[in-house]
Amino acid sequence: MAKILIVDDEPRLRKALSLQLQSAGYDVETAEDGKVALEMIQNASFDCVISDLRMPNLSGEELLQEVQKTNPALAVILLTAHGTVEVAVKAMQEGAVDFIQKPYTQEEVQKSVRRALDRKRLLLENLYLRGEMSVGTGDSGLIGESPVIKNLVSLIERVAKSDATVLILGESGSGKELVARAIHNLSPRAQHSFIPINCIAIPDELLESQLFGHVKGSFTGATQNRIGMFELADQGTIFLDEIGDMNQNLQGKILRVLQEQTIEPVGGRGSKKVDVRVVAATNRDLEAAVKEGTFREDLYFRLNVVPLEVPPLRDRKSDVPLLVRHFMNDLKKTPEEFFVPPSIYDRLMKYDWPGNVRELRNLVERAVVLDSPELLGQIGSKLSQVPEPAPVVQAEEPWLGDDQITYKEAKQAVLDRFERKFFEHRLRQNRGNVSRTAETLGMHRKNLQEKLDRLGINPKEVTEDQIDPEDGS
């Protein structure tokens, strides 16, 4: 629901205009002058301001100038009984979206408001490049003919018709975001925004601002009001990826959105209604997290209205050839230009794909970029025949010669040594890039970083040039 602020020093006009717009379905607040209005704008989120031009304390023109400094996306309509062409032109040049002369009709005001809201929506959609993020209205975008993927598409088609909250479960790299996009594209909300946000990729102290927006001065660096993702997704869908890693403070605020459909920007003192469908995803066991006390039980039940399980690629290996051809097509390669022999497909279909579809896409992209179809077979064969770690009982083991060390301590020492060599080797392969290494291992970046910290491995110090002769690199 659009929220409008009416600013006029005449109480009778404020009330009349407020009633007109409320009857048209808008959420309306009022202010008696520009100074009061400016304070309200700085502490709450509005979609449109309708302001008288001549007012005490702070005029409509001065209010417009202040709004342009702190919240340029906010649409401002000016009203005046002293309208001239010169005043109208000046107001439009300064950023007003429209100019209405008193006396005005109800139809004139509502048309102006609709134009202002359409302009704001267009600005926000251009800002977020909505068209770049969608596979297309009415298209699931899911590739596969296996029974498990067909069953998933059938469930998506049924779920998409409702506004129910959906919880998508599945391993890292299995395609959870693609499922979320499919739900949106097949839903009645498909003409509006689909806003994805990765909860683990943004620091906790910034995530709240990203989700709900903030007002000027709410924290260091907040020089302007900022619209949050929930407001950008109004009438559309927001996808909260990796919600299982969100802190409990934010979990409570997400719960409030689901219960009341209202948001409150960081540092603000007012709430705003939003019409947003929430789709969440995680590769964590949320039931276990609830028992451990790291995830709110009430939020879990709110999210888990319709759970969808995305199968790992190892459970639908018959889809591998289709996926390879799809990725080749995305990379502008035809089967004739980039011929993959059946024997290579056989190898790829025998591999278990711990990194799921993401790992397969990376493999295809690498082979296409290097224009070497044989790399698919070589890498597939190499990956599917990963050798067992070499025996680690060697002379330099810390427990040899120490009769006081316990079995548990010795076992941990051996495990630490193996993990240190293993992670250093994989980091070298990825030039010290932790995110890329985590993807290839099918791990959360956060979990990998915790292991590296415990093992004393600094990724910045690990490069391809640092070859350990013992690991065979």
**pTM for this predicted structure:** 0.62
pLDDT at 238 over 80: yes
Where are the domains positioned within the chain?
3-128, 151-309, 314-384, 407-471
Instruction: Report the CATH number of the 3-128 domain.
Output: 3.40.50.2300
Instruction: Note the pLDDT of residue 125.
Output: 60
Q: What percent of the chain has pLDDT over 70?
A: 87
pLDDT in tens, 41-53: 877 778 899 998 8
Which fold would CATH assign to domain 314-384? Answer: Helicase, Ruva Protein; domain 3 (1.10.8)
For residue 473, the model assigns a pLDDT of 38
342 CB burial (10 A radius; 0-12, 13-18, 19+): exposed
Which 3 state secondary structure label does DSSP give 291?
A: helix
SS3 category, 306: strand
Q: What is the pLDDT of residue 49?
A: 94
Distances (CA, A) of 223 to 62, 210, 266, 456: 19, 15, 13, 39
The pLDDT confidence band at residue 463, using thresholds 50, 70 and 90, is low
Residue appearing with tokens 């979609």: 47
- Answer yes or no: same fold for 314-384 and 407-471: no
* Residue 344: both structure tokens together: 């290579």
Whether 259 and 301 have beta carbons less than 8 Å apart is answered as no
Give the CA distances from residue 328 to residues 23, 193, 356, 368, in Å, rounded to whole numbers and listed in that order: 54, 28, 17, 7
**Number of Cβ within a 10 Å radius of residue 461:** 10
Q: What is the pLDDT of residue 74?
A: 85
pLDDT of residue 425 exceeding 70, the answer is yes
137: pLDDT strictly greater than 80:
no
Average pLDDT over residues 377-381: 60
**Between 1.25.10, 3.30.70, 1.10.10, 1.20.59, what CATH number should domain 407-471 receive?**
1.10.10
Condensed to tens digits (0 to 9), the pLDDT of residues 251-307 reads 999 999 999 999 988 887 778 889 999 999 999 999 999 999 999 999 999 999 999
Residue predicted with more confidence, 421 or 72? 421
Q: Is the peptide bond before 103 cis (omega within 30 degrees of 0)?
A: yes
3-state secondary structure of 195: strand
Assess whether pLDDT exceeds 90 at residue 243.
yes
Residue 389 to residue 386: CA distance in whole angstroms:
9
- Could you count the other beta carbons within 10 Å of the beta carbon of residue 386? 9
Q: Residue 206: pLDDT above 80?
A: yes
Q: Which tokens in the block code for residue 219?
A: 């924290």
pLDDT of residue 70: 76
Rounded to whole angstroms, the Cα distance separating 277 from 257 reads 10
> What does the pLDDT look like over 58-110, one tens digit per residue?
888 889 988 888 777 788 998 877 666 677 677 778 888 888 888 888 888 99
Per-position b or e across 187-215, b if 16+ CB within 10 A of its CB:
bebbebbbbbbebbeeeeeebbbbbbbbb
- CATH code given to domain 151-309: 3.40.50.300
| Tens digit of each residue's pLDDT (9 = 90 or more) over 398-410 | 555 556 667 777 7
| C-alpha–C-alpha distance, residues 52 and 18, integer Å | 14
pLDDT-derived band at 28 (thresholds 50, 70, 90) equals: very high
The answer, yes or no, to whether residue 124 has pLDDT greater than 80, is no
Residue 278 has a pLDDT of 96
**What rounded mean pLDDT belongs to the chain?**
83
Residue 118 is predicted with a pLDDT of 81
